[in-house]
């Protein structure tokens, strides 16, 4: 008997895409938009700011939708934080990479602080004071004047349309916005000149410019059935391709780039994860070490350890009499971490999912824990296990405020509370930011 065919649900109601409404913009929300209402229905509005009066155009939704998505296409009353977007590709219907090009740098940080405040209250039941957070999102690399765009992004993933024109994805779309330059791309990425080339036969291009070394890498994903084009770039650059099975193949040069941070050179292979702001590794390591205050001879866990950034920093502090166990699910990242930290005998790196391997290690206690989970967070079961290990301090590095807040609530169930929380603006012009929360057992505090 044949299995039943899945039923594809079609949106009910009449489409409202293209309809325009005049609205007063309410608070910012997690996701790079603000909340507004029209005739009782919620609208999630991009390219707006709290307190503005704007004309919006619906981009998604029907007459029966619980909410609508929309873009602000005309500003009737502007916020004092609004500026003219410096990027010509930013705005309604254009590139979806930057959420806040139309906002002053200080205004962007205020929006991010408001999002974190709201997520802490909603998902963790914490005020900023209870989270021991001063309410600010700290600028990284110095404060910028309004209208100036920091060129910080050392890794840029470009999309290519069917005609071979390179660009960036439009918001919530597979459509490509052609660009001749990305303003937030680091100088090393811009120097590669990938935007000026014909990429016929290619579906995607990733450009990488390492920090602290001259290493450059371009990773190509050909379209199915297409041959890789001959690539000649302006400077010596490693080239690789990703096949239809997501396997990495060297075409020219190295399979890795060398990143320099916290006094060490880090091998990062096959386009693997590395913080994309050049000052992020130093900023985050400093926040983690300041919060944990590792002592000679202590034991530590570095979970979701990547290529070993935090494990290496911890190992230097706990010394030869200490021990650091790193756990990472990516096989190539584990190989890189073992290579990067080979001289540190007190470090051991294991390959598996944290939630799978950690219970099998037999570890019943540890002094310190660092976790830098994916955007979805660690989750209730993993947090419960970590809480049982009786660490004197835990450092939680988070790239998503909602996941952080959810996991802080789970840690509270396990007897841990935040004693410090810092937020860093490591992704200017976008909705994203990074947090470092330091937690201690409740018995150690009030």
Residue numbers in the known binding site are: 275, 304, 328, 372
Catalytic residue among 34, 98, 305, 399: 399
User: Strand pairing partners for 214?
Assistant: none
Helix (H) or strand (E) holding 421: strand 416-425
Annotated binding site for S-adenosyl-L-methionine: 275, 304, 328, 372
CA distances to 123, 318, 349, 385 from 324, in Å = 32, 8, 8, 18
Instruction: Catalogue the E-assigned strands of 122-279.
Output: 137-139, 155-160, 166-169, 176-178, 202-209, 216-222, 238-242, 248-252, 256-261, 264-269
Task: Look up tokens 């890189």; give the residue.
Answer: 336
CB-CB contact of 240 with 248 (8 Å): yes
Please indicate whether residue 399 is annotated as part of the active site.
Answer: yes
Work out whether strand 256-261 and strand 264-269 pair parallel, antiparallel, or are unpaired.
Answer: antiparallel
Other CB atoms within 10 A of residue 246 CB: 7
Indicate the length of the chain as a whole number. 446
196-200 contact pairs (CB < 8 A, 24+): 197/166, 197/231, 198/164, 198/229, 199/160, 199/164, 199/165, 199/166, 199/229, 200/163, 200/164, 200/229
Nearest partner of 55 among 68, 45, 42, 65, judged by Cα: 45
Task: Look up tokens 């989970």; give the residue.
Answer: 373
CB-CB contact of 304 with 328 (8 Å): yes
Nearest partner of 370 among 427, 293, 433, 443, judged by Cα: 293
Token pair, residue 409, equals: 């609530």
User: Strand pairing partners for 54?
Assistant: 23, 75
Taking the alpha carbons at both ends of the chain, their separation in whole angstroms is: 64
CB-CB contact of 393 with 438 (8 Å): yes
Nearest partner of 59 among 28, 90, 12, 18, judged by Cα: 18
Active centre residues (catalytic): 399
């Amino acid at each position: 008997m044949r299995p039943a065919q899945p039923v594809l649900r079609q949106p009910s109601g009449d489409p409202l895409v293209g309809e325009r409404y005049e609205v007063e913009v309410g608070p910012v929300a997690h996701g790079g938009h603000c909340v507004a209402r029209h005739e009782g229905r919620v609208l999630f509005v991009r390219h707006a700011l709290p307190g503005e009066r704007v004309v919006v155009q619906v981009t998604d939704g029907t007459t029966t939708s619980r909410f609508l998505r929309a873009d602000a296409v005309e500003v009737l009353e502007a916020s004092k934080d609004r500026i003219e977007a410096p990027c010509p590709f930013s705005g309604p219907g254009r590139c979806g990479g930057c959420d806040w090009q139309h906002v002053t740098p200080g205004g962007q940080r205020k929006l991010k602080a408001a999002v974190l405040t709201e997520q802490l209250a909603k998902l963790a039941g914490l005020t900023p004071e209870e989270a021991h957070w001063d309410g600010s999102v700290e600028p990284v690399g110095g404060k910028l004047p309004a209208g100036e765009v920091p060129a910080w992004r050392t890794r840029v993933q470009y999309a290519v349309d069917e005609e071979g024109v390179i660009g960036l994805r439009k918001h919530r779309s597979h459509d490509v916005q052609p660009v001749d330059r990305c303003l937030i791309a680091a100088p090393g990425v811009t120097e590669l000149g990938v935007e000026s080339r014909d990429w016929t036969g290619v579906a995607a291009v990733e450009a990488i410019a390492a920090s602290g070394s001259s290493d450059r890498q371009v990773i190509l994903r050909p379209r199915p059935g297409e041959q890789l084009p001959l690539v000649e770039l302006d400077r010596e650059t490693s080239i690789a391709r990703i096949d239809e099975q997501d396997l990495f193949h060297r075409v020219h040069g190295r399979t890795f780039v060398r990143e320099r941070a916290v006094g060490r050179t880090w091998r990062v292979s096959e386009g693997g994860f590395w913080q994309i702001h050049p000052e992020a590794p130093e900023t985050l390591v400093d926040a983690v070490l300041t919060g944990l205050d590792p002592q000679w001879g202590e034991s530590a866990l570095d979970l979701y350890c990547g290529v070993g950034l935090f494990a290496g920093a911890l190992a230097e502090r706990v010394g030869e009499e200490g021990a650091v166990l790193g756990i990472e699910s990516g096989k190539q990242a584990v190989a890189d971490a073992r290579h990067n930290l080979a001289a540190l005998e007190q470090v051991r790196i294991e390959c598996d999912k944290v939630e799978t391997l950690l219970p099998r290690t037999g570890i019943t206690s540890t002094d310190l824990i660092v976790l830098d989970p994916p955007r979805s967070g660690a989750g209730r079961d993993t947090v419960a296990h970590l809480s049982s290990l009786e660490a004197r301090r835990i450092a939680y590095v988070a790239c998503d405020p909602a996941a952080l807040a959810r996991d802080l609530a789970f840690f509270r169930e396990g007897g841990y509370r935040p004693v410090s929380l810092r937020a860093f603006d490591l992704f200017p012009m976008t909705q994203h930011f990074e947090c470092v929360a330091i937690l201690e057992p409740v018995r150690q505090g009030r």
